[in-house]
Structures are given as C-alpha cells and as structure tokens.
Amino acid sequence: MDISELIENFEFLDGWEDKYRYIIDLGEKLPPLAPEFHTEEWKVRGCQSQVWLVPHRQEDRLWFEGDSDAAIVKGLIAIVLMIYNDKSPAEIKSIAVDDIFAKLGLQEHLSPSRRNGLISMTEKIKNYAEVL
C-alpha cells in the first residue's frame, strides 16, 4: 500500500477509535524485526516507547525495518515506512511529511509524547538518508 491509499483508507473510517484500531492492525502486519536489531545502536531517541529503525541500502534506494514494544507505535512505524521505503536519499529529504501527517490527522489526535516520537522517527530516517 502506498501513502495515497492509506490516506484514502483513513477517510473511509468513521472516528478516531476506528483509526487507532487500523493503525494497530498496520503494525501487526509489519514483518518481525530480527532480535539482533533490538539494541541501542538501532534505537530511536525521543520516543516514549522503545523504537528501533534499521536502514538498508540497495543501489540508490533506501528501505527500513522497524519495531516497537507498543502496539500503536508499531502502527505508526508502519505508516512512516510506507512514506519513506524504497526512496532515494534526495526523495527522503524532500518529502513533506508534516503535510502527510496532517492529511491523516495524526498531529491533532496523537498525544504530545507520541507526536514527539513520530518526529524522532522521521528525523532518524532523514539522518540515515544523509549518511548512507
């Protein structure tokens, strides 16, 4: 699924309770992250929950794996990966992620700590795009 499909799916859901369930379902569909990546090296700072993001590069494309110890955060990781996976570093840097989060309504409906974690995840990915 791409981000436009996700936005469309969000529009069909009635309320935020349904949207939270959908986000959790997205997280449950993430492939498991290998245990060797559940280390400090891959941890995202600034998240209330434990979050790990692992970058991979194939030619000029980046893709990421992620995991969290919290169901809703794992779903947010799934959304972040939909936005950034299989993009070049230049594409990653040019994505207007705040606009996407606004279309999804995440900024208004997430707690401040969850919003901060979401920002930390996107910053970590942009940092990986700079150094890989």
Mean pLDDT of 25-46: 97
Packing angle, helices 97-104 and 71-84, rounded to 10: 130
CATH number of the domain to which 66 belongs: 3.90.1010.10
The structure's pTM equals 0.96
Q: Which range of residues forms the domain containing residue 33?
A: 3-131
* The total number of structural domains that make up the chain: 1
pLDDT at 54 over 90: yes
Percent of the chain with pLDDT over 90: 95
CA–CA distance, 26 with 132 (Å, rounded to integer): 27
Q: How many C-beta neighbours within 10 Å does residue 11 have? A: 10
CA–CA distance, 38 with 43 (Å, rounded to integer): 7
Active-site amino acid positions: 47
**pLDDT tens digits, one per residue of 55-71:** 999 999 999 999 999 99
**pLDDT tens digits, one per residue of 82-108:** 999 999 999 999 999 999 999 999 989
pLDDT at 107: 85
